Amino acid sequence: MWKGPFVDAFLLKLKNKGAPLNNRKIWSRRSVILAEFLNSTVRIYNGNSFVRCKITEAKVGHKFGEFALTRRRKFRGSDGKGGKTKTLKKGASKWEERGDMGVRLEYCKRRSVDEFLQQFKRCMIL
């Protein structure tokens, strides 16, 4: 036997009344988004705060919790470690080293290409 979509009783009451869901707070992340909730804006609880979400046709059939992430995104630096990115000293060109941290990989590649082009131009002049 096939089970129907789960919708919290609170949301079913709103659906049966025909009341709009505009700017309504929702704690039930497990409830399925129904077609009756189209073109409304809800605030979904992610465990810390409420995340605003506009319900469109593409979201019908999914659960509310899919659109309110519970974990923070971790931004990593270009070197793959932590969230810090290396910056250059004041007045330093983008290819110079920054103390003991070394040179960023992108700058190393650019520097070698620039050096190659300069040598190539010198050869063409001679």
| Residue 60, Cβ density class (10 Å: 0-12 exposed, 13-18 middle, ≥19 buried) | middle
> Does residue 24 or residue 101 have the better pLDDT?
24
Binning the chain into helix, strand and coil, the percentages to the nearest 5 are: 30, 10, 55
Alpha-carbon gap, residue 56 to 70, rounded angstroms: 21
3-state class (DSSP) for residue 24: strand
Structure tokens at 93: 């060109």
CB 104 within 8 A of CB 88: no
Instruction: Decide if pLDDT at 36 tops 80.
Output: yes
**pLDDT value at position 111?**
55
**pLDDT value at position 2?**
75
**pLDDT value at position 49?**
93
Average pLDDT, the chain: 74
- The mean per-residue pLDDT over the stretch 37-43 comes to 91
H-run or E-run covering 41 = strand 41-45
Per residue in 43-82, pLDDT tens? Answer: 999 999 999 999 999 999 999 999 998 887 776 666 656 6
Report residue 95's pLDDT band, with 50, 70 and 90 as the boundaries.
very low
User: Measuring CA to CA, which residue among 56, 52, 18, 4 is closest to residue 35?
Assistant: 56
Q: Which residues have CB under 8 Å from 44's CB, separation 6+?
A: 26, 29, 50, 51, 53, 64, 65, 67, 68
> Does residue 81 or residue 8 have the better pLDDT?
8
